[in-house]
Amino acid sequence: MGHAVIESGGGWTAWPAPAKLNLFLHVTGRRKDGYHLLQTVFQLLDWGDTIHLRIRRDDSIRRIGALPGVAEQDDLVVRAARLLQRATSTGLGAEIRIDKQIPMGGGLGGGSSDAATTLVALNLLWNCGLGISELAELGACLGADVPVFVHGRSAFAEGVGEQLTPLDLPDQCYVVVYPGTGVPTAELFQCAELTRDSAPLTIAGFVSGASARNAFEPVVRARYPEVAQALDWLGQFGDSRLSGTGASVFVVVDMDRAQAIVDQCPSGMRAWVVRGVNRSPLLAMLPVNGGHVA
């Protein structure tokens, strides 16, 4: 079972679901099927949600506890569990409880990471035997950001987000701010003012410091004053940027002043000190044999 923590109280196991930042996000074109072609760097973080799982001997999948605004059947963790059931024909089920720290609609990948952790953990707990690549392929059916969390490596991503090249990024401390409002991703992709023809960036170009921004930042700034306020406030302390399509923003800071910045966070916003990691904490819980770790 790897190194999953068995909790007191009846066979529950706990699994990390880390957040991510998009260090840049370009839209380089659009496919004939309407999907946008993207380039981004996913920076995994040492902070996120925790997924608690308990195996059932029937095939029932149950979420324990409510998630505001998300019906059980629509929850990505429930959908992930059922997808793995169908793919492997297991007769087992699970109870799922989420310790939610990552804000929803925050551009930090919470739903995708929760789904990825559910796939990876239940693959082990149910003894399904799927490899990481197979799990990532299943995850892509749930969302474009799920595969990077399944692979568990910070990465340069292209295509619709499925072409991943692992990166070893420098050790950085960030202050992340959630402005208190979510941003609907699908709506932003339809905005006429979104730049959809950014020149493609190479990995070497990114590493050497070529100019790279978030194409959604001016669109979100103009439409969501709370996000604009967060960008402006955090911008006092460095080069503040939008993560994903928002709403969260972040800045690189020295660790010794990070907490002081968080302590000044304006009312209505939430802030955290986080560190970037190149390997997901989820990987530390997996066996290194049997093809489970890339």
What 8-state DSSP symbol labels residue 169?
Answer: -
Cβ atoms of 26 and 38 within 8 Å: the answer is yes
Beta bridge partners, 51, equal 15, 98
The closest alpha carbon to 55, from 90, 86, 94, 88, belongs to: 94
Catalytic residue chosen out of the listed positions 49, 75, 114, 145: 145
Cβ atoms of 39 and 200 within 8 Å: the answer is yes
Tokens 């997996």 correspond to 286
SS (H, E, C) 201-270: CCHHHHHCCCCCCECCHHHHHHHCHHHHHHHHHHHHHCCCEECCCCCCEEEEECHHHHHHHHHCCCCCCE
Catalytic residue chosen out of the listed positions 20, 49, 75, 114: 20
What 8-state DSSP symbol labels residue 257?
Answer: H
Query: Which tokens sit at 72?
Result: 């059980």
114 annotated active-site: no
Three-state DSSP at 19 gives strand
Cβ atoms of 133 and 144 within 8 Å: the answer is no
Cβ atoms of 163 and 156 within 8 Å: the answer is no
Cβ atoms of 173 and 259 within 8 Å: the answer is no
Amino acid at 185: T
145 annotated active-site: yes
Cβ atoms of 85 and 59 within 8 Å: the answer is yes
The closest alpha carbon to 95, from 7, 11, 6, belongs to: 11
Residues annotated catalytic, as ranges: 20, 145
